[in-house]
Every structure is written in structure tokens, then in C-alpha cells.
Amino acid sequence: MSYKEIEDKLKDIKIEEFVWIIYIGIIIYSFYSNYLERKYYLTGDILSKEKYRKTLIIIFSILLIVYFYFLHDSYESVLNLTSNDSDNKQKFTYLSFIGSLLIFISGVIFLYIAYNDEQIDVELAFN
């Protein structure tokens, strides 16, 4: 590996560590969201219902940004493939891109549901 490649990998690792911090924040915020949902179902508190819905929108908006980053990174990897790369590297790079695309699409769908389902009739989960 060249110095430039190592430098790029270390930069990617630093970004991934930042993304893990975002995920930790999302998990903590999701606990709060679950508290609001529980409060709404137990007490019928309409304010808790609206706060719950807004937290879902915030959570899925942030996740969509993260998913877009990974989709873009994966797309860049596809563009950087060369004919000299092994068949496995090419295959796995394309599969990684397809996986990132599908996760991004699921994020768009979940955000759409969270934004438009004012009655909170659909259980949403991010994984």
C-alpha cells in the first residue's frame, strides 16, 4: 500500500468513528423516543404523540444523511475500480454499492412514513 492509500484508509476510519458516535447519539435519542411512545399509549397524551413523531423524523433524517454518506462512498469505490482489480474485489464492490443503495432507499421510505403517518399507525425500526 502506498502512503496515499494508507492516508485515505486512516481518513475513512476517522469518519467511521464519527459515524459510530452519531449512532450512539441516535440510540440514546431512540430511548427517549420510546419513552414518548410509551407515554402516549399509556396516557393518551397527544403532546407526547407529536413529540414522538417529531423525534422519529429527526432520527430518520440524521440516519438518511449517514446512509447517503455510505452510498456516496460506495459509489466512489465503484468508480475507482480498474480492470486490474481482482474479480472478487469488483464483485464485492458492486455488491457493497447495491447494499448501500438498498439501505438508503429504506431510509427514504422510513422517513416518508414518519413524516406522513400522523396517526403513528406503523411501527418503524432502523437496523
Tell me the pLDDT tens digit for each residue of 45-85. 999 999 999 999 999 999 999 999 999 999 999 999 999 99
Q: Are 22 and 66 in contact (CB under 8 A)?
A: yes
Question: For 83-118, how does the pLDDT look when each residue is reduced to its tens digit (9 = 90+)?
Answer: 999 999 999 999 999 999 999 999 999 999 999 988
What span, in angstroms and rounded, lies between the C-alpha atoms of 69 and 90? 20
Q: Are 22 and 62 in contact (CB under 8 A)?
A: yes
Provide CB contacts within 8 A for 40, sequence distance 6+: 46, 48, 49, 52, 120
Q: Are 57 and 115 in contact (CB under 8 A)?
A: yes
Name the residue ranges covered by the structural domains of the chain: 3-116
Place of cell 407526547: 48
What span, in angstroms and rounded, lies between the C-alpha atoms of 95 and 17? 23
Provide CB contacts within 8 A for 122, sequence distance 6+: 113
Task: Kindly tell me if the per-residue pLDDT of 125 is higher than 70.
Answer: no
